[in-house]
């Protein structure tokens, strides 16, 4: 009679581990909540400020916030800029196109619908990984993409012909955001997140300002309340939220952060109802839930790199 050895048990998380995970989840939730404000405050500011003027002011404010942060923290950014200026410039250009198209979509759509569509960047990310990085998505990823695409179709049908342009703009914004993220992965561990935000904002201002001047759309004849909302949005949306997500990664996994970030449209829906008295219809909600479900499935999958 042989003696059976006890089965090995996985190490149980300690109280400190649980506290770290809880703190990381709180940071990620705070990031999703603040980036949700981005849609509401930007939507309101664009209602009173000409579009290209809004873009110039929004990213000029972002330049000021991130530049001040870098100056206070005294980050060694000169070496990073000298070494990685090419990918940083590329990130800025791609993000600039993403911002132009994404904000254009937000002008035409319910902010909650625009937030749902912005999450499709995960779908484009998987497709780009398949084409450029030769990653082979598992079955659950294909299922997630299929569910998300069905959600987009439902959203398109529910929005109607009047919102078709807004949907196209929003999807283009998500596509270029995915391209920027792909480039960002190359330098993510080498370059400060805030430096990336700073270079991105400067690049976008340099892209949009000449266009605004040439098209004579740089106008400062608007009420100051819109400027205050814009400054708040530029602070919470592209600046504070990114720092919160970045720090959350120190405590929880990327997949957990991605799932929490996918819930951003839920915060947008609450904000839109409270501040703008706007709420999507039943079909738009159904389409948005399908998009979120697809994104959650995508974030739980791990692509496999094909052997060459």
153, 294 contact by CB (below 8 A)? no
Going from the C-alpha of 131 to that of each of 125, 128, 135, 177, 305, the distances in angstroms are 10, 5, 8, 16, 11
Residue 3: inside a domain, yes or no?
no
Predicted pLDDT at 242: 78
Residue 105: inside a domain, yes or no?
yes
Predicted pLDDT at 245: 79
Residue 63: inside a domain, yes or no?
yes
Confidence of residue 94 (pLDDT cuts 50, 70, 90): very high
215-228 per-position pLDDT tens digit: 888 888 899 999 99
Range of the domain at 74: 20-305
By the 10 Å C-beta count (0-12 exposed, 13-18 middle, 19+ buried), 256 is classed as middle
> Distance between CA atoms of 243 and 28, rounded to whole angstroms?
10
262-304 per-position pLDDT tens digit: 788 888 888 888 888 887 778 778 888 888 787 777 766 555 5
Residue 10: inside a domain, yes or no?
no
Average pLDDT, stretch 206-221? Answer: 89
Residue 248: inside a domain, yes or no?
yes
**Kindly report the CA angle at 22 between 16 and 23, in degrees rounded to 5?**
90
120-150 per-position pLDDT tens digit: 877 777 777 666 656 566 667 778 778 877 8
> Distance between CA atoms of 294 and 284, rounded to whole angstroms?
15
Q: How many domains would you assign to the chain?
A: 1
By the 10 Å C-beta count (0-12 exposed, 13-18 middle, 19+ buried), 130 is classed as middle
Residue 245: inside a domain, yes or no?
yes
> For residue 307, is pLDDT > 60?
no
pTM of the complete model: 0.79
Residue 278: inside a domain, yes or no?
yes
Predicted pLDDT at 56: 93
User: 307 versus 160: which is more confidently predicted?
Assistant: 160
> For residue 158, is pLDDT > 70?
no
Predicted pLDDT at 43: 93
31-52 per-position pLDDT tens digit: 888 988 889 999 999 999 999 9
Residue 65 CA, chain-centre distance (Å), reads 18
Residues 6 or more apart in contact with residue 308 via CB below 8 angstroms? 134
Residue 281: inside a domain, yes or no?
yes
């Amino acid at each position: 009679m042989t003696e059976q050895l006890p089965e090995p048990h996985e190490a149980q998380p300690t109280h400190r581990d649980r506290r770290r995970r809880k703190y990381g989840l709180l940071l990620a939730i705070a990031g999703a909540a603040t980036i949700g404000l981005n849609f509401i405050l930007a939507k309101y500011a664009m209602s009173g400020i000409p579009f290209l003027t809004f873009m110039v002011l929004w990213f000029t404010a972002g330049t000021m916030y991130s530049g001040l942060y870098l100056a206070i923290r005294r980050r060694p950014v000169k070496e990073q800029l000298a070494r990685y200026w090419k990918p940083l410039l590329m990130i800025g250009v791609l993000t600039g196109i993403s911002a132009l198209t994404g904000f254009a979509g937000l002008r035409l759509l319910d902010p909650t619908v625009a937030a749902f569509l912005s999450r499709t960047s995960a779908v484009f990310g998987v497709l780009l990984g398949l084409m450029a990085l030769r990653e082979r998505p598992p079955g659950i990823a294909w299922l997630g993409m299929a569910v998300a695409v069905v959600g987009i179709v439902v959203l398109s049908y529910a929005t109607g012909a009047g919102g078709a342009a807004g949907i196209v703009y929003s999807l283009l914004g998500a596509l270029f955001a995915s391209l920027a993220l792909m480039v960002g992965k190359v330098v993510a561990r080498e370059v400060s997140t805030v430096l990336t935000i700073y270079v991105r904002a400067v690049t976008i201002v340099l892209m949009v300002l000449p266009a605004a001047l040439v098209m004579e759309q740089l106008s400062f004849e608007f009420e100051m309340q819109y400027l205050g909302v814009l400054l708040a949005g530029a602070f919470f949306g592209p600046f504070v939220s990114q720092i919160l997500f970045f720090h959350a990664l120190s405590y929880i996994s990327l997949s957990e952060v991605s799932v929490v970030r996918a819930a951003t449209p839920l915060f947008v829906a609450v904000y839109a109802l409270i501040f703008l008295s706007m709420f999507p219809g039943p079909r738009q909600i159904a389409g948005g839930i399908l998009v979120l479900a697809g994104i959650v499935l995508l974030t739980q999958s791990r692509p496999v790199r094909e052997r060459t």
